A and B are shown apart, each in its own frame.
Chain A
Amino acid sequence: MIRDQKLWTWHILAGAVILVLLGLHMLTMHMEGVVKLEGLNPASAANEAQGGGKLQPIDWANVKARSAKVFYLVTYILLLGAALFHGLYGATNVVHEANPPRWLHKTVSALAVVVGLGLFAFGTWAAIAAFLLAKAL
């Protein structure tokens, strides 16, 4: 019971972290046409200053420019961890609410831990590799 209370508290705290960091991600990727904030897509401003066309947030120039920033590296890994925990713990709770047999309860919990740790390791490696690549280019 105490373990569940702690996990629930972490679930809410992770939600608060996601609210801030995913909000920033949405501003950068999906709302940049309306909400103009300096520095979110560094290559766009530079390209427009040089008289170039409009760049999209997913254009490689912007991806490379963001990947090279320590701020994005750190916040990406934080968001990755918070979102994986919040999402997978939430999904296991949905399954647990349906009162499944004990074996299914344990299997779903174990699967969530394995998938969560695996994707966190993979995503963290990708963020660091992209950071090093962007710095080298």
Chain B
Amino acid sequence: MSDTKHHPNRLGLWGWLGGGRWGMERYLYALHRVTGLGLLAYFLLHIVVTSSRAFGADRWKTAMDAVTGPLFKFGEYLVFVAFAFHAANGIRLALLELGFAVGEPIEPVYPYRTSVHVQRPLAIGALALAAVLVAIGTASMWLVD
């Protein structure tokens, strides 16, 4: 808290909606948080629902019957899509955290170039990985019996 006392986050959550000069990566940042919070909400309920297996077959069937139907299936699919994006983008963030794909430091000569441009292929790769996972999940959940 003390580190940010003199530099308040003036935009707050509204800042998630504007990419500004950070472009695509800023939206990936916002989407990473939105999917993370969604996955967390699902996960906390998932722990409670799936714990019914500890009470035997009848309680398990009752719990599963309560979360069956097209609406729940679609919700489950959205959770899978959120997982695919969050996982792929999480790999990108971990690689950047470890210093990969950020490029070499350069002299600040005009016109300035940011390392965001160097990172862009990694962001595109992460989105491509997420798309492949979503395609497999879509085929498995909706197309293959």
Contacts of B39 in A (CB 8 A): 87
Checking A88, A97, A133 against B54 with a beta-carbon cut-off of 8 angstroms, the contacting residue is: A133
Minimum C-beta distance from B38 to chain A (A) = 10
* Any A CB within 8 A of the CB of B51: yes
Q: Which of B13, B36, B61, B94 contacts A12 (CB 8 A)?
A: B94
* Interchain nearest-CB distance for A60 vs B (Å): 5
Query: A31 near B53 (CB under 8 angstroms)?
Result: no
- Of the candidates B9, B12, B90, B144, the one whose C-beta lies within 8 Å of that of A34 is B144
By the criterion of a CB under 8 Å from any partner CB, how many residues of chain A are at the interface?
A: 44
The answer, among B12, B40, B91, B140, for a CB contact under 8 Å with A33, is: B140
B20 is an interface residue with CB less than 8 A from chain A: no
Cross-interface CB contact of B1 among A31, A35, A102, cutoff 8 Å: A102
| With A1-B3, A33-B145, A58-B64 as contacts: A123 and B94 at CB distance below 8 Å | no
Complex: A85 Cα to B9 Cα, angstroms: 25
Where the two chains meet, the residues of B that have a C-beta atom closer than 8 Å to any C-beta of A are 1, 3-4, 8-9, 12-13, 33, 36-37, 39-40, 43-44, 47-48, 50-51, 53-54, 56-57, 60-61, 64, 76, 80, 83, 87, 90-91, 94, 97, 136-137, 139-141, 143-145
